[in-house]
Structure 1
Amino acid sequence: MPFTVATWNINSVRLREPIVLKLLAEEAPDVLCLQECKSPVDKIPLEGFRALGYGHVVARGQKGYNGVAILSKLPIADVGEMDFAGLGHARHVAARLENGVTIHNFYVPAGGDVPDRMVNEKFGQKLDYLTEMRDWFHGDAPEKSILVGDLNIAPREDDVWNHKQLLKIVSHTPIEVEHLGQAQEAGRWVDVTRADIPQGLLYSWWSYRARDWDAADKGRRLDHIWATPDISNAAHGSRILRAARGWEKPSDHAPVFASFDL
């Protein structure tokens, strides 16, 4: 059963419903995972999504913050969520396809502005969240699984516009990269995007602060698609829809896609 998965930090699903509908109509992924929905589940505007064939939804939400949702053309079963670091945030949800593949949708904490947990509680929460992800994967080794989401870390030197300038900037600091790497290694996750696109600068996020984000091109690859080794060889067609960053009232993130022949 070939299928395509997309992941997108939408930065308010209600505010940006028009561009979610645009993506679904024009790109038609089988499964779309959204982060930072900023909506209780009962307020997510599902009617338009259903009209385009996305009748299956698994979501966790909260008013004004966080929130993750999985929209699917294919039948999916809700298989729960994890509250890493005990934050009480809607940052993870999982769903299972009928072919047995589990999709994990994550929104890792951004971590604030100062990369020092002694003066910035949010940075400590981010590191703790990643540590508990690592421990969970160690204790319950994932199989036949896909992990997607805004992981809020650009791990490689070519995942940021300037490696040296960003070494002390939250999302690319060595300690964050190390923590994310440990979580990835614990689950033996394969970075599908970089398996498909192994070389070159690659970004999925551009700051709202840039007057002309496209020309400045000071991006970071914060959004990821991973797969367990038993299905990673079935992945192909990875891409980032950069054009979506320039749509009307855009998110500061662009959607990331991968297809799987399973």
Structure 2
Amino acid sequence: MTDRLTIVTWNINSVRLRMPIVEKLLDEVNPDVLCLQETKCPDANFPENPLKKLGYEHIHVHGQKGYHGVATLSRRALGNVERRDFCGMGDSRHIAVDVPFNGSALRLHNFYVPAGGDEPDRAVNDKFAHKLDFMAEMRDWLTGEETSKPAVLVGDLNVAPYEHDVWSHKQLLKVVSHTPIETELMEEVRVAGGWIDAMRRFTPMEEKLYTWWSYRAKDWAKADKGRRLDHVWVSQALEGHIKSTSVLKDARGWEKPSDHAPVIAVFEA
């Protein structure tokens, strides 16, 4: 019997503000697991009840008031919950769970990497320094035992690593999210753990691929000046099980949207 697992990752930019489109996504896509980032919600105030009514009874959150925050909700029972505090900052930027799959389990990491502010210079921008330190800790931790098993890493990594992950490679080389120091460090994180960039497995490197469009554009769809900030990585042990990835671009045009679109990943065993 085939085991089919659908995981969606989405920076929701305030879960309470955008509950109508969270419910819309769950109703239309019907994923097994939804990983949210930038929930901006203390754990005690997370809106569990409407999600449980839709069948997502297994909810684990790591939140804080007004900033950051991640949540993983699932139709399947989740185990071995871990909330890692990167850089000792006390920020809610990571949660990991075990998800039943293929008679066993896969480790699912849900990340919200710091955006890094506006100036790509750690000497004058503490936010940028924090972003680089955060990724360096990811690189040093996510190796060996953590990545030798079936594992998936999703989330808003706030880096568009490749040339066609942005609307203009040349114009964004000095813009935070696509500077060489960020893209090279993000590649170090991926390679150190032997992670496979699942989205680029299904969309060739020479094709444009975006998950984020700024609110500042009057007509985001027409301008289409996007960046791929949201990612799905899989460990080598799952290479044969990732069957598809896709960006639900339409969601960027839903009522009161996030500036990010959901990314859908399908696994089969």
TM-score of the two chains, using structure 2 as the length reference: 0.95
**Is 1:203–1:220's contact at 8 Å kept on the other side of the alignment?**
yes
**Is 1:106–1:148's contact at 8 Å kept on the other side of the alignment?**
yes
- How far off its partner does 1:198 sit? 1.9
Amino acid at match of 2:240: N
Q: 1:10 aligns with which of 9, 12, 15?
A: 12
- 2:163 & 2:10 partners in 1: Cα distance? 22
- 2:119 & 2:145 partners in 1: Cα distance? 32
> Which residue does the alignment assign to 1:184?
190
- 1:79 & 1:54 partners in 2: Cα distance? 16
Structure 1 segment 147-166 matched on structure 2, within 5 A: 147-166=153-172
- 1:187 & 1:225 partners in 2: Cα distance? 14
> Which residue does the alignment assign to 2:63?
61
**Is 2:144–2:193's contact at 8 Å kept on the other side of the alignment?**
no
Q: Deviations over 1:142-200 (max 9, x none)?
A: 12100000000000101000000000000000000011111111111001111111241
Structure 1: runs of 5 or more not aligned = none
Q: 2:26 aligns with which of 20, 24, 27?
A: 24
Structure 2: runs of 5 or more not aligned = none
- How far off its partner does 1:83 sit? 1.3
Amino acid at match of 1:77: G
Amino acid at match of 1:116: D
- How far off its partner does 1:78 sit? 4.0
Greater CA deviation, 178-187 or 107-116? Answer: 178-187
Structure 1: which 4+ aligned runs deviate by more than 3 Å?
A: 138-141
TM-score of the two chains, using structure 1 as the length reference: 0.98
> Which residue does the alignment assign to 1:231?
238
The percentage of aligned residue pairs carrying the same residue is: 55
- 1:92 & 1:67 partners in 2: Cα distance? 8
- 2:78 & 2:32 partners in 1: Cα distance? 11
Q: 1:214 aligns with which of 218, 221, 232?
A: 221
- 2:44 & 2:196 partners in 1: Cα distance? 34
- 2:190 & 2:120 partners in 1: Cα distance? 21
Instruction: Describe the SS at the equivalent of 1:79.
Output: strand
Greater CA deviation, 113-122 or 42-51? Answer: 42-51
> Which residue does the alignment assign to 2:118?
113
Q: 1:244 aligns with which of 242, 251, 256?
A: 251
> Which residue does the alignment assign to 2:211?
204
- 1:140 & 1:178 partners in 2: Cα distance? 24
- 1:232 & 1:43 partners in 2: Cα distance? 37
Structure 1 segment 15-54 matched on structure 2, within 5 A: 15-54=17-56
- How far off its partner does 1:85 sit? 1.4
